[in-house]
Amino acid sequence: MEFWGVNLATVLMATGVYAIAAVLGALVLPLFFAPKRLLRFISGITENELNIRDKILLPVSKIFIRFNVHPNVITIVGVVLVAWLLAAFIQDASPIMIFTLTFLAGFSDMIDGPVARASGKVTIGGGIMDMARDVMLILVVTAGIIMNHLIDPRILIWFFGGEAVIFILKIWESSRRGIEKTIVDGFLWRAAGEGKPAVDRIKFFFFVAAVIAALLNPLMGFAFAPLINTLFALTIFSILFSIVIHAFLIRAVSTAEV
């Protein structure tokens, strides 16, 4: 059954699966693991992932810092690239052009955070623009691959449904922590890389990789189909794991166990 082109069976299935994941995180996980110990484990992995990523990208970050390029400028360039990408999709540009713009926009997302942290220039404006650029990039590439019939629309229902659940859980978590006394506090918290377990960055990586593979698929004689399916499956699995983790964090914070 479809409603306005949306497969309702897929929506109901995704809703049920994500609800089960939230219950597992909030009610089941604390029964088997001490909240404080598990939280330290999650925080340790997140911190290590962030440090490793920043260290790997440090040579590139130093180039931007050496030329006094503000991280917000990198983010703004990313926004411009996303707008250019939208125009490329509308004008039916070559797959190479679309791939290049997608890659560069994704690179801007990958490097602006490390540059901001390495230069000590984490700002509220950067946090807002970074979030806006991420949302714009996801929406534009999604619209592009839908227009070009590059992936099954049901995959997008799973992805955006999961992202909506994670967004709600993040807002709830930061509110329970007492961090979002103001909107600015919330943005600064996220801009500093807090409240974002490593799995959240991993799922975004899998999604962008899947999209890039989908864009390149026609050029490769559609040989990337198995890779695309695998990457999207890893994306959905990462979303499920992220929901479990965020639901657990809310439970731990709510019961003053962190």
Q: What is the pLDDT of residues 230-256, one digit of tens each?
A: 999 999 999 999 999 989 888 887 775
The domain of 43 spans: 2-254
Q: Which of 132, 15, 147 is nearest to 82 (CA)?
A: 132
- Whether 71 contacts 115, CB under 8 Å: yes
Per-residue pLDDT at 57: 92
pLDDT, one tens digit per residue, over 143-194 is: 888 888 888 888 888 998 999 999 888 878 777 766 555 555 655 555 555 5
Mean pLDDT value across the chain: 83
| Residue 9 token pair | 């069976």
Residue 86 — pLDDT band, cuts 50, 70, 90?
very high
Write the CATH number for 42.
Answer: 1.20.120
Mark out the alpha helices in 67-182 (DSSP H runs): 71-90, 95-119, 124-147, 153-176
Average pLDDT estimate for 183-207: 67
Q: Which amino acid is at 161?
A: G
- Whether 30 contacts 251, CB under 8 Å: yes
Per-residue pLDDT at 21: 95
Q: Which of 172, 176, 241 is nearest to 202 (CA)?
A: 241
Per-residue pLDDT at 199: 78
**How many CB atoms sit inside 10 A of residue 94's CB?**
10
| Residue 168 token pair | 């709600």
Looking at the 3D structure of the chain, how many domains does it have? 1
Average pLDDT estimate for 26-54: 82
β-bridge partners, 2: 7
